[in-house]
Amino acid sequence: MRMTKQIEEDSIAGINMAPIINVALVLVIVLIITAPILSIPSIPVNLPRAVTIEAKERNITISYSKDGKVAIDTQVISWKDLVPKLKYRLKENSKALVIIRADKDVPYGEIEKIFDIVIKKAGAKRIAVATEQRREYKEVFK
């Protein structure tokens, strides 16, 4: 008799968690599937039609290579055409973000010339400088 009590106590030592986890996952899946169905309204309504206009907020990218070539978006242009074309693009959308992409080997004085054109001559209000994200944090402090 003593032997059977010891076997019974050892067999109840742990609770098997696998069935509980399975039930929880099934409930989550059921909720994910039924949630979109619950958001559909029960009353059918015919909505009125409206004319909508999509907001055109396109960025303007100015690229400058180390050999002196300049481009607006994908179009390579001359320096003398930079101001009129940039003014025209900013006239279409005055809130456009002007992104300046310059080669890392370009001297800062040349980039300053581009800033002068973008801000003072063309009148851009929003400006950003494109950079490449570093791969590792440690490279910053080397």
- Give the Cα separation of 61 and 129 in Å (integer): 10
CA-to-CA dists, residue 31 to 23, 25, 35, angstroms: 12, 10, 6
What does the pLDDT look like over 39-62, one tens digit per residue? 666 666 666 676 665 555 688 888
- Give the Cα separation of 94 and 88 in Å (integer): 10
What does the pLDDT look like over 3-28, one tens digit per residue? 555 555 555 667 888 999 999 999 99
Q: Spell out the domains of the chain, with CATH numbers in brackets.
A: 2-38 (no CATH), 60-129 (3.30.420.270)
- Give the Cα separation of 64 and 78 in Å (integer): 11
What does the pLDDT look like over 82-109, one tens digit per residue? 899 999 988 888 888 898 888 888 888 8
Whole-structure pTM value? 0.54
